[in-house]
Amino acid sequence: MNKAEVSKQVNPEVEQMAAQMARDRAMAARWDLDVAVFLFAVLIIIIILLFEGVGLEIVAPVAVFGLAMVWLVGWRRGRQLYQRFYDEELNKLKEELKKTIRGVAEETIEEKIQKALRARWR
């Protein structure tokens, strides 16, 4: 099997593996300190509004808007991180594949040389 055949067979698997690894890394990094601080700021604003006697008609939309913004920021950050991590993982896996292919090719050449030497000695 030559390089092109190995590359064609493994390429979808490599892409799928890179996508899964990138997705896992992005999900873990999506909620960082900035998002947590923003969420606590929204919570503090809601608590202050409630203690000041502001009606629920005003506090509820502020809370919903704050939670929506937290979700939007987290989602956007996750999408950006996913793309970056996907590119990194794909490049890393392609390099590993190239090393493996080189190793297989070198072993094949080495095996051919050994067989030729054994045939000569017999």
Residue 12 lies in a domain: yes
Question: If phi over 0 gives left and psi between -120 and 50 gives alpha, with beta otherwise, what is residue 53?
Answer: left
Radius of gyration, CA atoms only, the chain: 28
The number of C-alpha atoms within 13 Å of 12 and in the hemisphere containing its C-beta is 3
Which position has the token pair 């502020």?
Answer: 62
pLDDT at 5 over 50: no
Residue 109 lies in a domain: no
User: Between 10 and 66, whose confidence is greater?
Assistant: 66
Taking the model in full, what pTM does it have? 0.53
Residue 17 lies in a domain: yes
Task: Give the confidence band of 48 by pLDDT, cuts at 50, 70, 90.
Answer: very high
User: Residues near 7 by Cβ (< 8 Å), separated by ≥ 6?
Assistant: 97, 101
Element (H, E) at 51: helix 33-51
Q: What is the b/e burial string over 47-62, where b = at least 16 CB atoms within 10 angstroms of the residue's CB?
A: eebeeeeeeeeebeee
Q: What gap in Å lies between CA 87 and CA 75, rounded to an integer?
A: 19
Task: State how many domains the chain has.
Answer: 1
Mean confidence (pLDDT) of the chain:
78
Residue 112 lies in a domain: no
**Three-class SS of residue 80?**
helix
Q: Could you tell me the residue range of the domain that residue 29 belongs to?
A: 3-95
